[in-house]
């Protein structure tokens, strides 16, 4: 059973009350538009479900993921997390209305510029830690931290976590095979271990490795086996200019065992801040964490 909706090739001028300005991006399950809300006089981002030609079961899965994302993240209000305003199902259209964030994903930025400079990478990771610390405080595990799920605008100092479509509350049993395998922690592949808040720590460490090298920490062959049993190639072999202190942060974040990782996003952030202040004294790329951590 196919569903109504907007053809991916169609020109869209309006969705609900929102006036479409431009397409901002698209993925397998949806298209994101930059739009204008005339009622509240503000720009927004609209994530429209791609539901044409889906079976009834596939349709329910896509729409269910939209409502799951909105329910999980709809209460969040933090400068390093994209804000969700509403989720709508109307006239055959299913969409999420979100804060419009200028810029592009870290993945898109890295594709255009190549590996990031060390200070810029530290600033991004620090702000991601701030966002993670916030959602972890509310008992939510993101489960898909990666460069493509981080919005970034260097000139405005914006870094925001996005896409909570497979996030879950810590008290709920997770689905182990969801996520992006290149950034998954070992516990995803070991049924005797629990998926916890520290799973996001590992994924953020993998993200840090990726944005500094433009390479995945584990290659595409037998990735799960490598994550379980092998260490990634030392980052200093790929980039000799990476300071040892930065390499140590990545190694700790990507430790195989829970007890050897950073025990919280706050601890991760504090170490990044300490290294940043030592390597780049006077840098204003990160803000002091004292207002968040005690």
CA 133/CA 246 separation, integer angstroms? 20
pLDDT of residue 89: 86
Find the mean pLDDT for residues 251-280: 96
- pLDDT score of 136 more than 50: yes
Active-site hit among 94, 144, 163, 258: 144
Least confident span in 28-42, 52-66, 273-287: 52-66
CA 259/CA 196 separation, integer angstroms? 12
pLDDT in tens, 59-112: 788 788 888 889 999 999 999 999 999 999 887 788 999 999 999 999 999 999
Q: What is the pTM of this model?
A: 0.90
Find the mean pLDDT for residues 206-210: 98
3-state secondary structure 64-84: HHHHHHHHHHCCCCECCECCE
Find the mean pLDDT for residues 241-254: 98
pLDDT of residue 290: 47
CA 273/CA 290 separation, integer angstroms? 11
Strand-by-strand arrangement of the 158-161 sheet: 104-105, 150-153, 158-161
pLDDT of residue 221: 81
pLDDT, mean over the chain: 89
C-beta of residue 15 within 8 angstroms of C-beta of residue 33: yes
pLDDT in tens, 111-123: 999 999 999 999 9
CATH number, domain 14-99: 3.30.200.20
pLDDT of residue 32: 92
- pLDDT score of 266 more than 50: yes
pLDDT in tens, 184-203: 999 999 888 889 999 999 99
pLDDT of residue 216: 95
Q: Give the percent of the chain with pLDDT over 90.
A: 68
Q: Is 144 an annotated catalytic residue?
A: yes
pLDDT in tens, 19-35: 999 998 876 667 899 99
Q: To which CATH superfamily is domain 104-291 assigned?
A: Transferase(Phosphotransferase) domain 1 (1.10.510.10)
- pLDDT score of 1 more than 50: no
pLDDT of residue 176: 65
pLDDT of residue 37: 97
172 vs 86: which has the higher pLDDT? 86
Find the mean pLDDT for residues 252-271: 97
Question: What one-character-per-residue DSSP string does the chain give?
Answer: --B----TTS---EETTEEEEEEEEE-SSEEEEEEEETTTTEEEEEEEE--BT--HHHHHHHHHHHHHHHHHHTT--BTTBPPEEEEEEETTEEEEEEE---SEEHHHHHHHH-SPPHHHHHHHHHHHHHHHHHHHHTTEE----SGGGEEEEGGGTEEEE---TT-EETTSPPPTT-S-GGG--GGGG-TTS---HHHHHHHHHHHHHHHHHSS-SS-SSSHHHHHHH-PPPPHHHH-TTS-HHHHHHHHHHT-SSGGGS-SSHHHHHHHHHHHHHHHSTT--SS--GGGT--
pLDDT of residue 4: 54
What residue ranges do the domains of the chain occupy?
Answer: 14-99, 104-291
Decide: residue 278, CB within 10 A, 0-12 exposed, 13-18 middle, 19+ buried.
exposed
């Amino acid at each position: 059973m196919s569903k109504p909706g907007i053809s991916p090739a169609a020109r869209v001028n309006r969705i609900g009350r929102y006036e479409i300005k431009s397409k901002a991006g698209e993925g397998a399950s949806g298209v994101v538009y930059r739009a204008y809300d005339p009622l509240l006089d503000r720009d927004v981002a609209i994530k429209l479900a791609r539901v044409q030609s889906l079976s009834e079961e596939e349709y329910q899965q896509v729409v269910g993921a939209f409502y799951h994302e909105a329910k999980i993240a709809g209460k969040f209000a933090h400068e390093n997390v994209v804000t969700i305003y509403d989720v709508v199902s109307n006239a055959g259209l299913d969409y999420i209305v979100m804060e419009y964030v200028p810029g592009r994903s870290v993945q898109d930025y890295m594709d255009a510029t190549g590996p990031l400079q060390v200070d810029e990478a530290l600033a991004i990771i620090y702000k991601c830690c701030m966002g993670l610390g916030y959602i972890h405080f509310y008992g939510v595990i993101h489960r898909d931290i990666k460069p493509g799920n981080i919005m970034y605008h260097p000139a405005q100092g914006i870094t925001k976590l996005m896409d909570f479509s497979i996030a879950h509350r810590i008290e709920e049993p997770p689905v182990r095979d969801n996520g992006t395998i290149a950034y998954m922690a070992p516990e995803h592949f070991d049924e005797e271990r629990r998926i916890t808040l520290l799973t996001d720590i590992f994924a953020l460490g993998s993200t840090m490795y990726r944005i500094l090298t433009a390479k995945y920490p584990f290659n595409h062959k037998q990735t799960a086996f490598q994550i379980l049993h092998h260490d990634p190639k030392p980052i200093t072999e790929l980039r000799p200019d990476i300071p040892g202190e930065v390499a140590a942060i990545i190694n700790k974040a990507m430790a195989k065992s829970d007890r050897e990782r950073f025990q919280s996003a706050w601890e991760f952030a504090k170490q990044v801040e300490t290294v940043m202040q030592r390597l780049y004294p006077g840098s204003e790329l990160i803000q002091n964490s004292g207002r968040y951590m005690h």
